[in-house]
Amino acid sequence: MMATDPHPDSALYQLAYSAGDALKSRGWYCATAESCTGGGIASAITSIAGSSAWFACGWVTYSNISKEQLLGVSADALEKQGAVSEAVVRQMAEGAQKKSGVDITVAVSGVAGPDGGTAEKPVGMVCIAWTTRTQTESTTFMFDGNRADVRLQTIEAALNGLIRLCCVS
């Protein structure tokens, strides 16, 4: 049987396990707000047994209207900056934090491809934001590969950021 969950020997499983460990050590709960990964970050986190001790909830806001209605992203940011922008993922992360009340959230929006890329925002461009109770950070990545590759690298970067913020903030 082909499993979508990462195999315990895989790098992704180890990363999801480490993220859970970091959150648990800190006594923190996390939430996710995903566009291009479509639930893949939450799925990776919850592939670890016992993850209800550090994962509360997540949103998959794939359409623009759901980013507005479920997470309170402003129509202005969506129109002027576009769905794939640090302005929008910061609002997604902060909206998820506000609505869930958790300690840390991560939000992603990107161009997974194969279609949808432009000169300014090519396939592989992904914006990620992390919000804790005291700060919001965001970064723009340019990932290589096909749709599955871009989505996987986004999940990995999202988890790495969670681990880092658990350790440094």
Question: Please, how many CA atoms are within 13 Å of residue 62, restricted to the half-sphere of its CB?
Answer: 6
Region near a copy of itself per CB under 8 A, out of 46-54, 84-92, 129-137, 161-169: 46-54
In our burial notation (b when 16+ CB lie closer than 10 A, e otherwise), range 41-70 reads bbbbbbbbeebeebbeebbbbeebeebbeb
CB of 168 to a copy of itself, least distance (A): 26
Question: Roughly what angle, to the nearest 10 degrees, separates helices 64-71 and 86-100?
Answer: 40
Q: For residues 13 and 72, is the Cβ–Cβ distance under 8 A?
A: no
Q: For residues 129 and 90, is the Cβ–Cβ distance under 8 A?
A: yes
Q: In the set 21, 24, 82, 99, which binds a copy of itself (CB under 8 A)?
A: 99
168 scored as a contact of a copy of itself (CB under 8 A): no
26 scored as a contact of a copy of itself (CB under 8 A): no
Q: For residues 30 and 100, is the Cβ–Cβ distance under 8 A?
A: no
Closest CA to 42 of 157, 167, 160, 155: 155
Q: In the set 18, 21, 24, 39, which binds a copy of itself (CB under 8 A)?
A: 39
Pick 21 or 38: Cβ nearer a copy of itself: 38
Q: In the set 41, 87, 89, 159, which binds a copy of itself (CB under 8 A)?
A: 41
Size of the site for a copy of itself (CB under 8 A): 52
Q: Which residues bind a copy of itself (CB under 8 A)?
A: 1-7, 10-12, 32, 34, 37-47, 49-52, 55-63, 65-66, 69-70, 99-100, 113-115, 145, 147-149, 151-152, 155
